A and B are shown apart, each in its own frame.
Chain A
């Protein structure tokens, strides 16, 4: 996290954009939401290192 300006908190080190605890359909839905949030971050101005949560 040192130096990156737009950071989206991933699910886990071993599966940043997934969650084996979810059903396949729910997991894809989670991933869509994460990518969608990433796109929001890319189109948002930031002053300095900013960390967003995947949900909420």
Chain B
């Protein structure tokens, strides 16, 4: 019997970069390339602030994917009299140059830890996925207005947009259609950003979160609510839907770096499009103030729309427990969509306060005000009233799926704010509030 240790073959394993990378440097470096112009061209390339896109080439991204009959690509610029309709998701083009297959980790071929290493992004540009009439999905309102009264309420009225219009195969399942649209959209977003590799960025930032303690600074965390109820109403983390998960702690930079992707297509104004995870103002600000104004202890991700009183209460207690275990004195709570998730938010607020974690809650109102309430929710940020009607508009052009079950995109009737994608997103990226009159 020899020495067990010596009989073990020791290997110094240096994994290929990006795959199981040893995390010695927990910094996320973001290289931003500002998009001045988006033009159709013969080849997809980056040239001094202009992204040239081979639209026919882009359209081939969906060719091998099941459940789709076609995908068309169109450019929509700020200032146009254009409405983008039936929007499913909006994605900021980004790529991890060291291993592009780990971009949007879990979706495009390889799993890597998000939030570390270098990521390039096209700043001022968005890839917008839309769907034509589809048996598999309930009405998809999702509007982005580039002009007219809805423009100030549409975040992407000021970005250069590449709009992908998908046509689903009626014989396919929703899961198939949903997955294929997502893969195609994320692939296009990644490949467009990939044109920047080897070019000099306009801005380079280093997002660092050093050791979090000491001094008089308050310790803060985020409790971020997502929802996962099946295809079409899902949130995906590291490539898989998170239905049934217990609350979990993530590093804010993972979320900024494509770890969370939206798979939810209902209630346009109040859900979280992928773009708002990637560019989250909340996470960006908290990271920026870490070490100078506060300590950011982490992000607790939790589910809303849980189906029973016990499940709701359990999730609330477990999320609050994680916030407390992180050492947070205060937490910003975000909400996903409307209706019964507001009960999840309020229960989570109460559970946090009961454990001594003070809360500020981001939530949307309706014409009737708050949907649910607990006395502990004494510090609420209202991201707007989703019921308010926005004047009807006749755009010169409508791009994106035309679902006949939705009122025609160019009719005169006022549109509830709820139909404008991201207008009342409860991650807090929009400068919308409420005044009482």
Do A's and B's CB atoms come within 8 Å in the complex? yes
Interface residues of A (CB under 8 A from B): 1-2, 9-14
Nearest-neighbour CB distance to chain A for B17, whole angstroms, equals: 47
Contacts of A14 in B (CB 8 A): 307-308
User: Hey, which chain B residues are within 8 Å of A11, CB to CB?
Assistant: 308-309
Is there a chain A Cβ closer than 8 Å to B161's Cβ? Answer: no
Contact A1 B343 (CB under 8 A): yes
Fill in one digit per residue for B295-327: 1 if any A CB lies within 8 Å of its CB, else 0.
Answer: 000000000000111010000000000000000
Extra A-B contacts (11), CB below 8 Å, given A2-B370, A2-B371, A13-B340: A1-B343, A9-B309, A10-B309, A11-B308, A11-B309, A12-B307, A12-B309, A12-B311, A13-B307, A14-B307, A14-B308
**Bound state CA distance, A37 and B343, in angstroms?**
24
* A2 proximity list for chain B (CB < 8 A): 370-373
* Binary contact track B339-366/A, C-beta < 8 Å → 1, others 0: 0100100000000000000000000000
Q: From DSSP, what is the main secondary structure of chain A's interface residues?
A: loop
Chain B nearest CB from A37 CB (Å) reads 14
**CB-nearest residue of chain B to A51:** B309
Give the distance to chain B from A28, nearest Cβ to Cβ, in Å: 20
Decide: A1 and B307 in contact? CB cutoff 8 A: no
Closest to A15 in B: B308
In the complex, what's the smallest C-beta–C-beta distance from B339 to chain A, in angstroms?
11
Report B-chain residues with C-beta under 8 Å of the C-beta of A13. Answer: 307-308, 340
Chain A: minimal CB distance from B155 (Å): 31
Name 8 interchain pairs, CB-CB below 8 A, sorted by A: A1-B343, A2-B372, A9-B309, A11-B308, A12-B309, A12-B311, A13-B307, A13-B308
For the complex, give the distance between the alpha carbons of A2 and B346 in Å: 12
Chain A neighbourhood of B307, CB < 8 A: 12-14
A residues in contact with B309, CB < 8 Å: 9-12
Nearest CB on A from B370, distance (A): 8
Residues of A within 8 A of B343 (CB): 1
Residues in A with CB closer than 8 Å to B370 are 2
**A13 CA to B409 CA, complexed, in Å:** 35
B373 neighbours in A (Cβ, 8 Å): 2
CA distance A9 to B347 in the complex (A): 14
Which chain B positions have C-beta within 8 A of A10? 309
- B368-399 interface bits toward A, Cβ cutoff 8 Å, 1 = contact, 0 = none: 00111100000000000000000000000000
Q: A12–B311 Cα gap in the complex (Å)?
A: 9
Contacts of B340 in A (CB 8 A): 13
Bound Cα distance from A9 to B310, whole angstroms: 10
The answer to whether B308 and A12 touch across the interface, beta carbons within 8 angstroms, is yes
CB distance from B363 to the nearest CB of A (A): 14
Task: Kindly supply a per-residue 1/0 record for chain B positions 235-277, scoring 1 wherever the CB is within 8 Å of any chain A CB and 0 otherwise.
Answer: 0000000000000000000000000000000000000000000
A19-B52 Cα distance, complex, nearest whole Å: 58
| In the complex, residue of chain A having the shortest beta-carbon distance to the beta carbon of B313 | A9
Contacts of A12 in B (CB 8 A): 307-309, 311
Closest to B306 in A: A13
Residues of B within 8 Å of A1, CB to CB, are 343, 372
Q: Which residues of A contact B308 (CB under 8 A)?
A: 11-14
Give the residue name and chain of the B residue nearest to A54 (CB): B309
Closest-CB distance, A13 to chain B (whole angstroms): 5
Q: How far is the CB of B300 from chain A (nearest CB, A)?
A: 24
Min CB distance B83 to A, Å, is 36
Give chain A nearest CB distance to B233 CB in angstroms.
15
Measured between C-beta atoms, what is the minimum distance from A49 to chain B in Å?
10
CB distance from A20 to the nearest CB of B (A): 12
Nearest-neighbour CB distance to chain B for A25, whole angstroms, equals: 22
Minimum Cβ distance to chain B for residue A29 (Å) = 19
Smallest beta-carbon distance A14→chain B, Å:
6
- Can you name the residue of chain B whose Cβ is closest to the Cβ of A14? B307
Complex Cα–Cα for A9 and B309 (A):
7
In the assembled complex, the Cα of A56 lies from the Cα of B105 at a distance in Å of 46
The complex places the Cα of A13 from the Cα of B340 at a distance, in Å, of 10
What is the CB-to-nearest-CB distance from B129 to chain A, in angstroms, rounded to a whole number?
Answer: 30
Bound complex: CA of A9 vs CA of B311, how far in Å? Answer: 13
Most buried by A among B307, B311, B340, B370: B307
Complex-state Cα separation, A10 to B308, whole angstroms: 8
User: What residues of A have a CB within 8 angstroms of the CB of B372 in the complex?
Assistant: 1-2
- List the A residue with the shortest CB-CB distance to B307: A13
Q: Which residues of A contact B311 (CB under 8 A)?
A: 12
Shortest C-beta distance, A22 to chain B (Å), equals 14
Shortest beta-carbon distance from B361 to chain A in Å:
16
Counting from the closest, the 10 A-B pairs by CB-CB distance are: A12-B308, A13-B307, A9-B309, A12-B307, A14-B307, A2-B372, A13-B308, A2-B373, A11-B308, A1-B372
